[in-house]
Amino acid sequence: MKLPSDCIFEIEKNKIENYLLNIGHPDGKAKADFFISNGINVQNAGLLEVLLKQQAGENDITRKMQTIYGVKYIFESVLKFPNGKTHLIRSVWISAENEKIIKFVTAYKI
């Protein structure tokens, strides 16, 4: 099952640049090492945003669950990176019940 086509996927710039691509972040370091080694860095961070939004917008939901924070959506698919390599990536998104705005939480290689 896919999310409706009128959903809006939001990713805070800070979430990508200061978390997923920050080798100094205590929780994001391993993710940053992975993404940077595959050709994504702060200078082309917009590419990661595009890839993650495409993943969520074009693929079936792998898992959906209700949490105390809202409805969590998990997507898993192969993404192609700037270095030409492909990797299976999980991205996690969340929204309030019946909301069209889906907010990015995290992404990592699985």
pLDDT digits (tens, 9 = 90+) for 76-109: 999 999 999 999 999 999 998 778 999 999 999 9
Averaged over 29-49, what is the pLDDT?
96
Amino acid code (one letter) for 64: K
| Higher per-residue pLDDT: 39 or 97 | 39
Averaged over 5-22, what is the pLDDT?
94
- State the pLDDT at residue 101: 96
Which tokens in the block code for residue 1? Answer: 């099952």
CA–CA distances in Å: residue 54 to residues 26, 57, 70, 77, 106 = 27, 5, 22, 10, 15
Task: Indicate the number of domains in the chain.
Answer: 1
| Higher per-residue pLDDT: 12 or 98 | 12
CA–CA separation, 61 and 46 (whole Å): 23
**2 located within any domain:** no
Owning domain of residue 98: 8-109
What does 29-55 look like in DSSP terms, one character per residue?
HHHHHHHHHTT--GGGHHHHHHHHHHH
**80 located within any domain:** yes
Averaged over 47-76, what is the pLDDT?
96
